[in-house]
Structure 1
Amino acid sequence: MLKTTGATFLAIATSFFILLFSPPPKSYYHSLFISSSLSDNASISHHLRTLTRRPHVAGSQANAEAASYVLSTLSACNIKAHIVSYDVLLTYPDSRSLTLTPSPSEPPITFDLKQEIYEGDPYADVADEVLPTNHAYAKSGSVIGPVVYVNYGRVEDYGTLKEMGVNVTGTVVLARYGEIYRGDIVMNAFEAGAIGALVYTDRKDYGGGGGDAKWFPDDKWMPPSGVQVGTVYNGSGDPTTPGWASSEGCERVSIEEVESSGDVPLIPSMPISDADGETILRSIGGQIAKDNWQGSIDAPTYRVGPGPGVVNLEYNGKQVIATIQNVMGVIEGVEEPDRFVILGNHRDAWTFGAVDPNSGTAALLEVAQRLQKLQRSGWKPRRTIILCNWDAEEYGLTGSTEWVEENRDLLASRAVAYLNVDCAVSGAGFHASGTPQLDDLLKQAAQQVQDPDNSSQTIYEQWIQSTESSLIGRLGGAGSDYAAFLQHIGVPAADMRFGAGYPVYHSMYDDYTWMEKFGDPMFHRNVAGT
């Protein structure tokens, strides 16, 4: 049954909008917006299925087709919609290989570096369209060296290795995902003297802990061949146009200047699977790693090395000035048309992107459809609403950053607030972060929307019961598209989601099937998030 009893992200976003737009709120329209009469799980399910039918990395034809779908959906809602394009530096893998020589007496092992399809996989026919596993903006090169296990690759992990007398200089480090950003893992490796970095997905963190735990498609956990891909760029926006928009014919800095900026890695790196990481770990000798460096219950004993295992890591990437497309929709305000309330989500995905980011894209489109229904009933927004569907977020918040750079002065003077939804739904439990100016609005909106997992309470009641620390987190770093608005021009911002981290993040298993089976089987959280 696809008819929901409550409204969630859609309702949160619109509650947020109406609270901003209408002094005082027009209770009739507010009630209408969150009523079951406008709630349709089948619609948001359709949006998500359509958006995720093919892998759609930034710069690809599939992502351009997804942009056309968003544009046509907004236009069908009688929203003035258009595309804003930029030409930006993106990278794609050209060739890569990884070979392990476990010891001088053993033959080398060459890894196939593939994520495996499973029996009955509905996306098997398009699996070859998934980009080969890589780190965006990784340094091209070939390195050979003994392996050192560095836990999560944090600064303190290298401090522990130094205390143990382990010298990392001239080695290839093996780090596991988690705790810190992958770009920092590679940067820390370089600063410690390593010549290359491998980053794997440990079963302890992403595979259910080992033992009898099952993995996707039987459970939510990452399969042994699953690989978390992603960028290792430490900046935001197009690396060749730092501080200004990548418009046609614009000035660009050279690749050499990009490398000297410190924002891109200076050693080759590669993401690998748990299965490949465990094979490499079995080749590492030396001292036994600390207890909190060890793996799952049935993993081998982790040692730190160096060696005797030696890896040969080769990676060659191609750098392309590619066209990206932000899709923008505008509903003009009737009282303060020169004041903007902005809702944003990105569209591009490393693979199918059912959670990241297209659960948020589907929510954005549901917001548009609900606002259209309100307009048919006579509602008009007080302030101008801008719906933004960003491109190339995965590379470095590129689409949103370029748009803010191009419109910096206008947005700084006219934007009231920016509401971001990236991974709208990955599980149960509502979470929100924002600037203090928006705290009361977030609480008020959450108090008016039913909890999609417990119809006897509101989202706010669930929220306060499940939160041990502060109710509303603060936005720091550059985790999603709010960064340019908040950090570049000081616009109040918020970011919302259902669920926390999820194990198939940035892998080819983040697809519609995973969402339908584990993230939100009835799509009631998706609707609620809207």
Structure 2
Amino acid sequence: MGQSGLKMDRLHKILIGACALTTVCSFILGIGVFTLLNQNTLSIFKALTWNSLQEETDITLSILNEIDPKTLEENLQWISQSPHEAGSNRDENIAMWIRQLFRKYQFDDVQVSTYKALLSYPSAVEQSRVELLDGSGEIQFSTNPGGGFESGRAMSNMGGPSAHFHAYSPSGAIESTLIYANYGRDVDFLKLQELSIPIVDRLVIVREGQISSAEKAFNAEAYGAVGLIVYPDPETAAKDGESPLMVYPNNWWLPSDARRSDSVLTNPGDPLTPGWPAKPNVHRLKQELVESWPNIPSLPISYNAAREILSVLGGRDVPYGWHGRLQGVQYKLGGEFKLSSNVKRVLLTVKNQLTPIDVSNVIGIIQGSVEPDRYVILGGRRDSWGNGAVNPSTGTAAMMALAQSITKVMKDEGWRPRRSLVFASWGGGQHGEIGSTEWVEEHFPKLKDRTVAYINAEGCSFGPSLDTTATKDLEEVILEALKLIPNPQVEQNYMGDEVNSNTKGEGSYYDYWMNSPGDGFPTNNLGFSGPRAIQRTMGRGDFTSFQSLMGSPVMDIQLVPEKHNLSSFPLASTEYDTFAIYKSAVDPKLQNIQTCAKIMGYSVRALSDRPILPNDATSYFDIMKEGLLELQTLGMFDNSLEQLQNISLGPLETAITNFGPQAQNFSERVKEVDENNPLAVRMINDQIMGLARIFVLKSDFPGITGYNALVGSVKDQPRSVIFPKLRFLVSKLAEQNLEEKNRRHEKLRLHVTELFIMIEQATSYLKAYHII
């Protein structure tokens, strides 16, 4: 072989060897890359299928145990040291403090959302008042005898006194005779008409309770009254009596000089931008086109002032059930005054002003580790016309203590929630849920598809006994929380309550709650009221936009006294809701607010980390059956509607009947989902979230957003009802003239159709994924 041949042979062997080596190296490298990719895949798969709630119970306990009583007390004392109405410097200071804490706790994102909303304030020039006049116009009594501002009232950061008022009441000076109209409900005004008591062009005085101040004002206007006066009757505001020992500052009942501010806005959100966020460049309605505030002036007064007014009122005796508990007052219907008094007329003067103001929300976000595009939202109102220690500041203080606890556990334990957590401090809440509504309107498309649940934290603690309301699908989560949280071992009397000694210091909070005394519950075989139940959400709150606009599951956490059947703190929205009374008479050892924070903590943990979301499709079936039965039992649909107007509940009843078996099948299918299959989990969760959204209708009632949900608030109803829009349409038929009645009949036909189609769509939605 020649020299050149030997070189070629050697080169050939080298090339073969190099190729072999490359092949071996590639194979080894491939194994390494495959192993690395496989390990990453396994790690990702494990994260997708990991049930942290079930497998890491120590995380849950750590979150609850890290809720610090000292932090709760410091937070509450600092927030409630002075009034902080929406738009004030003090409210802005609290907002910035919350933002600073979110950043200190190392939230992944902290935002401040600001909206230019139209807010209502009392005049800084002239005080609103009620005056009794004699025949020559001389003042015989005035709620503001000095003519200036109330002595001893804290100055508002808005420039005027922090006076008592009805936000969004128009200004005016109305002089007329006076009518007593009980609670100011439709049924009360109808009773006055039945008794031939003239209402048109009269002033009306009513007591607080049963329905909102806004509904009272709209009712009074609808029946022809020209002004409204609202007072808190001792029957509900001072149930233990008017003695100084039984009211503030010695107890938490309302003193005789207290006046409670309120809003008479019917629709949540900025009144000039209904349906869209109040950002700088959006179109705003002209004020004369706004339908969500009344056209007659209204004013809150104290029950001491009401005593002076009602004691000179003459006329017929009030009907049975219309008496309050004002000492020295013979309750009369009015229209005239007692001959023994010199009073001939009443003058109501209201001085308010409307001002565009920046309203700020503070939003803190903890990014989820597996499903960052799914949100568990915890929020609460921040602002208060008074110091607001109980309402709303116990909710804010608890939320911030929980934020600290969760982020500490994340740092110490290396845990991160599966889904994103959103903490929200809402501004403009007392005026009418301004901040929360504007935020939902701004982010509606994203929130509607991604919100798992909303938890409301406002005024959460003024007693030891749970009075939380929720949509049915969250009831399971709340009961789980109660069974995990220890009995608070109440050794003190909260708000005058005697604690059931059989449960003191034993078992879980659930045991205590189920066996504790409480008004309005049937007595169980232990001799205590029960069994307890989580009630449907009712009334208004920052949960309204989440529930009524988006169909999101919501809960509203609140702890109340074991007796007295109270749903709100008697001193709320007055200058007497202070940290001092909270610490001395409401919750001396801060055990109630700790319980509230722990219920929040477990709920947030469960909703963020449970692979399959809470669900109860059959509960929709039960709710709709109940609503249909109520309509039939109350006789709201009689034969004349079907025979004369071709309006029948038959299609609705059929749709509900067909929904039942499909809901049951879906519930069974949820139980069979393989939690180790992340795609199956995601698909079933999408169905769970989507079902709730189906039961939200587009509203054609401006200013009444609660009517487009399956369960919502209805005018003149103290509790939420099923099929609210349907009930509203039927209830108004008798009050209309023939032309309007025909229009209402057509709306009723359309709505019955809208309802049964909605239910048919829900039935179809629950079918297996591949079936249309």
Do both proteins adopt the same fold according to a TM-score greater than 0.5, normalized to the shorter chain?
Answer: yes
- Between the aligned partners of 2:154 and 2:286, the Cα distance in structure 1 is 40
Please state if 1:519 is matched with 2:519: no
* Partner of residue 536 from structure 2, selected from 461, 474, 481: 474
Equivalent residue number for residue 471 of structure 2: 435
Judged with a 3 Å threshold, the aligned counterparts in structure 2 of structure 1 residues 104 and 457 are, in CA distance, closer, same or farther, namely: farther
Identity %: 29
Equivalent residue number for residue 573 of structure 2: 506
Q: 2:307·2:326 contact (CA, 8 Å) conserved in 1?
A: no
Judged with a 3 Å threshold, the aligned counterparts in structure 2 of structure 1 residues 237 and 458 are, in CA distance, closer, same or farther, namely: same
Equivalent residue number for residue 399 of structure 2: 364
What CA deviation, in whole Å up to 9, does each residue of 1:271-311 have, x standing for no partner? Answer: 11111111110121011223422232733111111132421
User: Which is helix-richer, 1 or 2?
Assistant: 2
Q: 2:377·2:453 contact (CA, 8 Å) conserved in 1?
A: yes
Q: Which moved more, 1:434-443 or 1:352-361?
A: 434-443
Q: Which moved more, 1:71-80 or 1:449-458?
A: 449-458
- Between the aligned partners of 1:457 and 1:487, the Cα distance in structure 2 is 37
Please state if 1:408 is matched with 2:458: no
Judged with a 3 Å threshold, the aligned counterparts in structure 2 of structure 1 residues 137 and 425 are, in CA distance, closer, same or farther, namely: same
Bigger RCO (CA 8 Å, 6+ sep)? 1
Distance apart, 1:129 and its partner CA: 7.4
Q: 1:241·1:251 contact (CA, 8 Å) conserved in 2?
A: yes
Please state if 1:352 is matched with 2:352: no
- Between the aligned partners of 1:55 and 1:211, the Cα distance in structure 2 is 26
Aligned residue pair count: 500
* Partner of residue 141 from structure 2, selected from 85, 94, 109: 109
Paired residue type of 1:487? S
Equivalent residue number for residue 463 of structure 1: 513
Please state if 1:73 is matched with 2:104: no
Equivalent residue number for residue 214 of structure 1: 246
- Between the aligned partners of 2:381 and 2:51, the Cα distance in structure 1 is 24
What CA deviation, in whole Å up to 9, does each residue of 1:193-235 have, x standing for no partner? Answer: 1110000111222023536462100111111110111100000
- Between the aligned partners of 1:429 and 1:167, the Cα distance in structure 2 is 44
Distance apart, 1:115 and its partner CA: 6.8
User: Which is strand-richer, 1 or 2?
Assistant: 1
Please state if 1:483 is matched with 2:544: yes
Equivalent residue number for residue 24 of structure 1: 54
Q: Which moved more, 1:314-323 or 1:51-60?
A: 314-323
Please state if 1:285 is matched with 2:320: no
- Between the aligned partners of 2:238 and 2:365, the Cα distance in structure 1 is 43
Judged with a 3 Å threshold, the aligned counterparts in structure 2 of structure 1 residues 239 and 124 are, in CA distance, closer, same or farther, namely: closer
Judged with a 3 Å threshold, the aligned counterparts in structure 2 of structure 1 residues 434 and 22 are, in CA distance, closer, same or farther, namely: farther
Judged with a 3 Å threshold, the aligned counterparts in structure 2 of structure 1 residues 103 and 292 are, in CA distance, closer, same or farther, namely: farther
Q: Which moved more, 1:47-56 or 1:106-115?
A: 106-115
Please state if 1:495 is matched with 2:531: no
- Between the aligned partners of 1:26 and 1:470, the Cα distance in structure 2 is 30
| CA RMSD between the two structures | 2.2
Q: 2:88·2:156 contact (CA, 8 Å) conserved in 1?
A: no
Equivalent residue number for residue 6 of structure 1: none
Paired residue type of 1:390? W
Computing the radius of gyration over CA atoms, which structure comes out larger, 1 or 2? 2
- Between the aligned partners of 2:374 and 2:139, the Cα distance in structure 1 is 67
Judged with a 3 Å threshold, the aligned counterparts in structure 2 of structure 1 residues 297 and 489 are, in CA distance, closer, same or farther, namely: closer
Equivalent residue number for residue 529 of structure 1: 596
Q: Which moved more, 1:451-460 or 1:216-225?
A: 451-460
- Between the aligned partners of 2:103 and 2:507, the Cα distance in structure 1 is 36
Q: 1:463·1:471 contact (CA, 8 Å) conserved in 2?
A: no
Structure 2: runs of 5+ lacking an equivalent: 1-49, 338-342, 491-503, 522-529, 561-566, 598-772
Equivalent residue number for residue 152 of structure 1: 183
Q: Which runs of 4+ in 1 moved over 6 A?
A: 113-116, 123-129
- Between the aligned partners of 1:528 and 1:129, the Cα distance in structure 2 is 38
* Partner of residue 420 from structure 1, selected from 435, 452, 456: 456
Q: 2:455·2:543 contact (CA, 8 Å) conserved in 1?
A: yes
Q: TM-score, normalised by structure 2?
A: 0.62
Judged with a 3 Å threshold, the aligned counterparts in structure 2 of structure 1 residues 396 and 389 are, in CA distance, closer, same or farther, namely: same
Judged with a 3 Å threshold, the aligned counterparts in structure 2 of structure 1 residues 382 and 445 are, in CA distance, closer, same or farther, namely: same
* Partner of residue 257 from structure 2, selected from 216, 222, 225: 225
Equivalent residue number for residue 33 of structure 1: 63
Paired residue type of 2:80? T
Q: TM-score, normalised by structure 1?
A: 0.90
Distance apart, 1:152 and its partner CA: 1.0
Distance apart, 1:421 and its partner CA: 1.3
- Between the aligned partners of 1:290 and 1:523, the Cα distance in structure 2 is 44
What CA deviation, in whole Å up to 9, does each residue of 1:20-71 have, x standing for no partner? Answer: 9835352111122223xx2422211110111011100001111001101111
Q: 2:311·2:328 contact (CA, 8 Å) conserved in 1?
A: no
- Between the aligned partners of 2:329 and 2:594, the Cα distance in structure 1 is 43
